[in-house]
Amino acid sequence: MRMNKRWLSYIPVTLAVLVAIAVGFIDAQNHPITHIFTAESLKSMQSLNYKYRMSVSDLGTSGLSIMPELIKADVLLPGLTAPRENTGLIVTFDDFDGMLLLQPEKKLTESELAQVASEYNADIPEFSNIEPDQEVALESPFYDFGIFAARESSVDLSSTESDANDAVRVAVIDSGVDETHEIFADTHFGTGWNAIDEDTSMYDDVGHGTHIAGIIAVSAPEAQIFPYKIVDANGGRLSNVLSALSRAISDEVDVINTSFGLSSPSYALEEMVNRAYDDGIIIVSAAGNSGKDVDFFPASYDKTIAVAGVDAGDHKMTNSNFGNFVDVAAYGYHVRSSLPDNRYGYKSGTSQATAFVSAAVAKMLSAAGLDASETGEPADKMTFEEVLSTLQGGSEKIPDGELAGMAVVKVE
């Protein structure tokens, strides 16, 4: 059959079009353009960014990124890096799970920051919520030398070898971890993320994260620890927490230990907690060390397991928070664990109690996976509700006080 030469002439053009479509598809996969904003909103954002000399950064998404669209629209100030100490604004979206940090080059007062937020909110309807990037605090240890005896060490501090294959992944969102400590000789670490320096260095210049990770590593040697640094000696912010949580979700961890908190609620933080819950991740959170019936975040959110602290007699520690938001309690008084530079030390607080519960959850998830593999059945991951119910069903209960009747979690 003779082909029409005119038809043949279209073949190169057709092939070129197909190649262009294929290349465009691949590029879209690598650099997706989200088209979240209208042209008017992008123009307003450019104007406001230049007016307040605002640095814009991405706090994490689940697949798509907003930044390519902002770069293409030329709404960003090239080369601008705002000082870390200047409080910025965190932006969330209703129809998109990305988050942005807007940080001013010039330090603004609270009232000035509120005015800036209102301008962005009024001119950019795609911004569903704007809030200040508040300070985040690790739960500082306290020492309560009351009438109750302390357990000199509630765990055996000799390491037990474990296998990283199919290990339960536990994220420790804290001040970093000194992974060279001898206590971690047989511990498997994931890469994690340093949300302050935006790299993977995990130096711990505070000591809190190494202490928490040590408790988990010894109590649940079958766990693989993923460290995320959100605080250094100069402090940390909510934006660091959101970036770390986003990374942990992307790393597909199973458990997230949050021995830190905010005294004020955060829309963005709750959204990130809900995102982790939707992905089947169990978040275990410190109830706080104020000794009050007062909310503490993220522990007060419904999709976290809030942990109070008890002493050796299973009585509430004096400084442990309490209230309806608390789910379980665990030992947290005078706990010996690792500190940077191969040292050991004792710390007390709901932070330490939270680490024990995270370890208990890791062991629970590991046992469930082991049972499934032995029977040849596919492993069904335990849900948040199943884990919480199991923890609360423990036989040991607090005898009296503000936490009377609450289950005390013990690591077997």
Q: Which of 114, 133, 152 is the last residue of a domain?
A: 133
277 shares its domain with 318: yes
Q: Are 370 and 276 members of one domain?
A: yes
> 31 in a domain, yes or no?
no
The CATH number that applies at residue 370 is: 3.40.50.200
Q: What is the pTM of this model?
A: 0.85
* Residue at 260 is within a domain: yes
pLDDT digits (tens, 9 = 90+) for 4-60: 434 444 444 444 434 443 434 434 444 444 578 999 999 999 999 999 999 999 987
| Per-residue pLDDT tens over the stretch 208-267 | 999 999 999 999 999 999 999 999 999 999 999 999 999 999 999 999 999 999 999 999
334, 148 Cβ separation under 8 angstroms: no
351 vs 126, 292, 337, 338, CA distance in Å?
37, 16, 12, 14
Residue 159 DSSP SS3: coil
210 and 83 housed in the same domain: no
Contact 315, 399 (CB under 8 A): yes
Do residues 162 and 272 both lie within one domain?
Answer: yes
Domain boundary pick from 133, 162, 186: 133
- Other residues' Cβ atoms within 10 Å of the Cβ of residue 106: 11
Residue 64, domain member (yes or no): yes
**187 and 324 share one domain:** yes
Angle, vertex CA 220, rays to CA 219 and CA 224, nearest 5: 135
Shared domain for 60 and 166, answered yes or no, is no
SS3 131: strand
**259 and 288: one domain?**
yes
At 103 the pLDDT is 96
Same domain, 227 and 328: yes
> Number of structural domains, the chain?
2
Statement to judge: residues 189 and 239 lie in one domain: yes
Q: Which of 151, 209, 157 is nearest to 333 (CA)?
A: 151
Q: How does DSSP assign 61-121, residue by residue? A: -SS--SHHHHHHTT-S-TT----TTS--EEEE-SS---EEEEEESS---HHHHHHHHHHHH
Q: Do 288 and 387 fall into the same domain?
A: yes
Where does a domain end: 109, 133, 157? 133
245 and 105 share a domain? no
The pLDDT assigned to 69 comes to: 86
The whole domain housing 91 covers: 39-133
2 falls within a domain: no
**Residue 20 within any structural domain of the chain:** no
**Do 119 and 190 share a structural domain?**
no
Residue at 173 is within a domain: yes
The pLDDT tens digits for 254-310 are 999 999 999 999 999 999 999 999 999 999 999 999 999 999 999 999 999 999 999
| Catalytic annotation, residues | 174, 208, 351
